[in-house]
Amino acid sequence: MRSLYETYVHGSISAVLGPFRRYLPAVVLLGLLATALEGIGIGLVIPLLDVVVSGDSNAQGFLPGLLVSFGETVPRETRGLLIGGAILALLSVKNIVVYANGLLQAWIYGQAGHRLRTALAQKLTAMDASDLLSEPPSRMLNIISNESWRSADAVAAVMGIMVNATAALILLAFLMAMSWQLTLVVLLGITVIQYAHERMSQHFAGLSTIITDQNRGLAGRMLHLVAAWRLIRLFGREGFEKERFAQASDSVRLAALDLQKRQMAVAPITEIAHATLFMAVIFFAWSLGITFGTAAAFIILLYRLQPQVRQIQARLAALRGWTGSLDEVQWLMTAAPAGSTPSGDLPAPALTQGLAFESVSFHYAGAASDRPALHDATFEVPAGTSLAIIGRSGSGKSTMAHLLCRLLEPTSGQIVVDGIPLSEIDGADWLAHMAVASQELELFDGSVTDNIRYGAPEAGEDRVLEAARQADADEFIRTLPKGYDTGVGDRGLSLSAGQRQRIALARALVREPRLLIMDEATNAMDLLSERAALRILEHRRGKGTTLVISHHLSSIKRCDRFIRLDRGRIVESGTTQDFNEEQLARMLRTTRA
């Protein structure tokens, strides 16, 4: 098991706090000040009780003696009033300091939570594509929507522990100054209670990991209900889904209850132990013959110390209960960034010669070793020409596109652009000069113009209109209630599949890319967008390089060359001119067999 320090101070919490760590000394200092004020305030009870109530001024110990002699400097008639007033003033200032410390902690908590959520979002946008392709989206959703909050709570708990620990140390120092014998009894008792507490809470980390797993499952069910509502309705599986959701939710409830039951048992047990310690102190005070005033002040201070110690123990137990959440957040924070794949610093070439795959193979992590998604692919696409990539489902077409976009890196071999290996070219610059149009790249909640301009934020109205015209989208956009300003709703669901695809195509074209990858949908492609694909191929001939993942004879015919993939291997390639329509159609049929 990892040590507490490793987990909470050096590891996850430290990562969550980031630059806000520098405010922690202020939290500790304010805590120290508050407790010192409280300690002195309570200490003044000694002269108040000794002199005003009992008239006994033979206090033992360093601090009691000091306080009693201080009390004697005040005239006897007004002593009670003055010392009482001083106690109230000290406690009032202490409460102002406690309030200021609370505000500071709330501010750090808010900042740390905000920093964590934005860092996680940034991580998601920058993380290696192969991780994103292999991890279930429910894991990411759970981390951002649930675990990040628990991690922020853990930060608050750590700050609380710091304040409690400071207070406890100061109060212990006061106790020591009053009676070292009684303080030894207190220290011994606290050590025994802490040991028992550790034993009781050692299973919390394991239970927390179970809760995190259950939460991830529940997030998956939520995601499914929202994203696959159409599937659920059309197949009439509402009852089944309701049942599955209820089961996932109940599993979270049961796992959380299991942890809570154990956590809740700790508090009463430690309270009884602390009460026993209290009794022991009174007994020892009596047997040591400690004066009433000193014993009373000691007990008041001990009474103030106990909640601090109990809070430290409760917060440590809570932290153990968040271990699973902290681990998940830590996992995402340290997940391989996209930059972990090699990226050179050469500017993107103008793509005047062409691009080539040289013996490129790719193997997905976790896939069987004899099943590479792409095996020894070698082909060339001269600049300004078009290439149709055909092949049945699972043959490796999307993998090829992912490699070109550098979402994935070849396991072996290389892709070369104008004679320069892609790995030596600056990744961002390369992407800035290419574009992908695919039905998998959804529209977002915004206007039609917003969605098209997403491809080139700097594009003016003319460029947006031109891209829409080329994508055969202009006509239908003008019939929408607010034309180009019409909101398309989340994921563009207020439009037909063909309309969405044409806007996505316009979004790619507005970039005026040197390399365009068009992933034609198998069936959502209506005649109009097929017409657009043909027009684009014509328009780009000699000007831009185009790759079409194609399922349509009409677009394959218009491409200059083709390759046919089968189980990751190029099994046929050539120029389309060398094949008549009948031969191309036969070849296309083999990809549907």
List 65, 84, 344, 394, residue binding ligand ATP (CB under 6 A): 394
CB of residue 565 vs ligand ATP: minimum separation in angstroms?
A: 7
Q: Which of 396/544 has CB closer to ligand ATP?
A: 396
- Report the alpha-carbon angle 334-2-194, nearest 5: 135
Alpha carbons 149 and 155: distance in angstroms, whole number: 10
CB of residue 593 vs ligand ATP: minimum separation in angstroms?
A: 14
List 12, 142, 325, 399, residue binding ligand ATP (CB under 6 A): 399
Sheet holding 420-421, edge to edge: 374-382, 354-362, 412-417, 420-421
Q: Which residues contact 586 (CB under 8 A, 6 or more apart)?
A: none
Q: Which of 142/398 has CB closer to ligand ATP?
A: 398
CB of residue 549 vs ligand ATP: minimum separation in angstroms?
A: 7
List 43, 64, 220, 396, residue binding ligand ATP (CB under 6 A): 396
Q: Which of 294/399 has CB closer to ligand ATP?
A: 399
Applying CB under 6 A, the site for ligand ATP has a residue count of 14
Phi, psi of 84 (to 5 degrees): -60, -45
Is 134 a residue that touches ligand ATP (CB under 6 A)? yes
Q: Which of 546/550 has CB closer to ligand ATP?
A: 550
Q: Which of residues 165-224 bind ligand ATP (CB under 6 A)?
A: none
Alpha carbons 565 and 557: distance in angstroms, whole number: 17
Alpha carbons 371 and 581: distance in angstroms, whole number: 33
- CA dist list (Å): 409 to 49, 339, 515: 79, 11, 18
- CA dist list (Å): 210 to 174, 257, 264, 324, 395: 43, 12, 18, 8, 38
Q: Which of 93/129 has CB closer to ligand ATP?
A: 129
Reported as type and span, the H/E element at residue 572 is strand 569-575
Q: Which of 532/565 has CB closer to ligand ATP?
A: 565
CB of residue 451 vs ligand ATP: minimum separation in angstroms?
A: 23
Is 398 a residue that touches ligand ATP (CB under 6 A)? yes
Burial of residue 284 (number of CB atoms within 10 Å: 0-12, 13-18, 19+): middle
CB of residue 444 vs ligand ATP: minimum separation in angstroms?
A: 22
Q: Which of 83/403 has CB closer to ligand ATP?
A: 403
Q: Which of residues 27-66 bind ligand ATP (CB under 6 A)?
A: none
List 257, 367, 527, 571, residue binding ligand ATP (CB under 6 A): 367
Q: Which of 128/327 has CB closer to ligand ATP?
A: 128
CB of residue 497 vs ligand ATP: minimum separation in angstroms?
A: 16
Comparing C-alpha atoms, which of 105, 98, 100, 102 is closest to residue 35?
Answer: 98
Q: Which of 205/408 has CB closer to ligand ATP?
A: 408
Q: Which of 133/493 has CB closer to ligand ATP?
A: 133
Q: Which residues contact 231 (CB under 8 A, 6 or more apart)?
A: 237
CB of residue 566 vs ligand ATP: minimum separation in angstroms?
A: 10
Do the Cβ atoms of 255 and 210 come closer than 8 Å? yes
Alpha carbons 166 and 33: distance in angstroms, whole number: 9
Q: Which of 262/569 has CB closer to ligand ATP?
A: 569
CB of residue 514 vs ligand ATP: minimum separation in angstroms?
A: 23
Q: What is the 3-state secondary structure (H, E, C) of 236-293?
A: CCHHHHHHHHHHHHHHHHHHHHHHHHHHHHHHHHHHHHHHHHHHHHHHHHHHHCCCHH
Q: Which of residues 305-364 bind ligand ATP (CB under 6 A)?
A: 364
Is 395 a residue that touches ligand ATP (CB under 6 A)? yes
Do the Cβ atoms of 554 and 584 come closer than 8 Å? no
Q: What is the DSSP letter of 483?
A: G
Q: Which of 275/367 has CB closer to ligand ATP?
A: 367
Q: Which of 370/578 has CB closer to ligand ATP?
A: 370
Do the Cβ atoms of 398 and 522 come closer than 8 Å? no
CB of residue 523 vs ligand ATP: minimum separation in angstroms?
A: 12
Listed ranges 74-82, 308-316, 365-373, 572-580: which one lies at the site for ligand ATP (CB under 6 A): 365-373
**Token pair listed for 310:** 């109990």
Q: Which of 297/373 has CB closer to ligand ATP?
A: 373
CB of residue 261 vs ligand ATP: minimum separation in angstroms?
A: 40
Is 550 a residue that touches ligand ATP (CB under 6 A)? no
| Residues linked to residue 412 through DSSP beta bridges, in sequence order | 361
Alpha carbons 399 and 135: distance in angstroms, whole number: 17
Comparing C-alpha atoms, which of 486, 489, 490 is closest to residue 477?
Answer: 486
x/- mask, ligand ATP, residues 86-125, rule CB under 6 A, reads ----------------------------------------
What three-state secondary structure class fits 384? coil
CB of residue 398 vs ligand ATP: minimum separation in angstroms?
A: 3
CB of residue 501 vs ligand ATP: minimum separation in angstroms?
A: 15
- Report the alpha-carbon angle 32-172-87, nearest 5: 65
Q: Which of residues 372-391 bind ligand ATP (CB under 6 A)?
A: 373, 391
CB of residue 591 vs ligand ATP: minimum separation in angstroms?
A: 9
Q: Which amino acid is at 162?
A: M
Instruction: Report helix angle 180-201 to 292-321, nearest 10.
Output: 20
Do the Cβ atoms of 549 and 562 come closer than 8 Å? no
Q: Which of 402/453 has CB closer to ligand ATP?
A: 402
Do the Cβ atoms of 97 and 163 come closer than 8 Å? no
CB of residue 562 vs ligand ATP: minimum separation in angstroms?
A: 14
Is 397 a residue that touches ligand ATP (CB under 6 A)? yes
CB of residue 400 vs ligand ATP: minimum separation in angstroms?
A: 7
Per CB under 6 A, residues contacting ligand ATP are 133-134, 364, 366-367, 373, 391, 393-399
